[in-house]
Structure 1
């Protein structure tokens, strides 16, 4: 009996320094409707999300469609890059992917963030065996989780993600057996 996780990278958001409350942009709200339409075909049982507003807004349509509340899972929030804004985001994130144990001041290393996300994923696999469930999340943490199960998902995969993006991960117990991108 397979379990299917639909990881949904949030849609485009309006940049504000408030990571928790940052909302989707107008384009992001339109794209969230596309996410809902795509997931309506997938027989979804439950919806989980990062506590960040943009992630919740991206998956709230499918939660309403299946008439279930979104369950917030703090561990699916985006990785903390550093305590202060970085000057060059691309070089900062590249350094983290080159050295899984490196972290910027006040930030999480890839290994730390991956462990957090994988632990939450395994808990959900155990409690949702044989189900189809959605996880509204963020690009970096999503790819770190995918990387744990299959090393081919790394920096170059992350750099090509879209906003939003949906990946269906199929598991036999806790073994990843297939990954499919869900597209219109």
Structure 2
């Protein structure tokens, strides 16, 4: 049985220390409209999202258009890098990708975040087997899930991802069989 997952990295957001309630920027709102346009004909029948506002807002237009309610899934939230803001984000994020077991104080290691994301994905695959599901999530969580399925999706892949970005993952009998990028800036 074929199950299709559309992993949707949220659109650009206005920075705020309040991770859960950080909204999309004006540019992000425009890109969210493109997300809707790109996915409206994909026969999606389930919409899930991280509980973070920016992830929900990125697929909200699709929910309105299709008349489908978005269900939030806590474990699709972004990985927590550290308890407090880090001095240099680029150095801090590179460090956790270099050593999957390393975590900054109060943060999640790649292993911990990846385990959380994969558990959520496996539950989705079992609950909605044979359906087409869009999941509004975050860059690091998306890359970590994809990395667990195929090691080619690594730190360099994450660095090259757009904001937003969309990848279509096709599963046959719960096994990943194809990955296609849907998003394009053009």
- TM-score normalised according to structure 1 size: 0.98
Q: Secondary structure at the match of 2:123?
A: helix
Q: Which position in structure 2 is the counterpart of 1:59?
A: 59
Give the Cα separation in 2 of the matches to 1:130 and 1:65: 22
Q: Secondary structure at the match of 1:176?
A: strand
Give the Cα separation in 1 of the matches to 2:43 and 2:13: 27
1:22 maps to 2:15: no
Q: Aligned-pair RMSD on alpha carbons?
A: 0.7
What whole-Å deviation, never above 9, does each CA across 1:64-113 have from its counterpart, x for those lacking one? 11211100000000000000000000010000010000000000000000
Do 2:167 and 2:183's aligned partners in 1 also have CA atoms closer than 8 Å? no
Q: Which position in structure 1 is the counterpart of 2:4?
A: 4
Q: Secondary structure at the match of 2:168?
A: strand
- TM-score normalised according to structure 2 size: 0.97
Q: Secondary structure at the match of 1:135?
A: strand
Q: Secondary structure at the match of 2:19?
A: coil
Gaps of 5+ in 1: none
Do 2:6 and 2:166's aligned partners in 1 also have CA atoms closer than 8 Å? yes
1:11 deviation in Å? 0.3
Q: Which position in structure 1 is the counterpart of 2:113?
A: 113
Gaps of 5+ in 2: none
1:172 deviation in Å? 1.1
Q: Which position in structure 2 is the counterpart of 1:42?
A: 42
Give the Cα separation in 1 of the matches to 2:178 and 2:8: 16
Q: Which position in structure 1 is the counterpart of 2:168?
A: 168
Give the Cα separation in 2 of the matches to 1:58 and 1:82: 25
Give the Cα separation in 2 of the matches to 1:139 and 1:86: 18
1:183 deviation in Å? 2.9
1:174 deviation in Å? 2.2
**Structure 1 stretches of 4+ moved >6 Å:** none
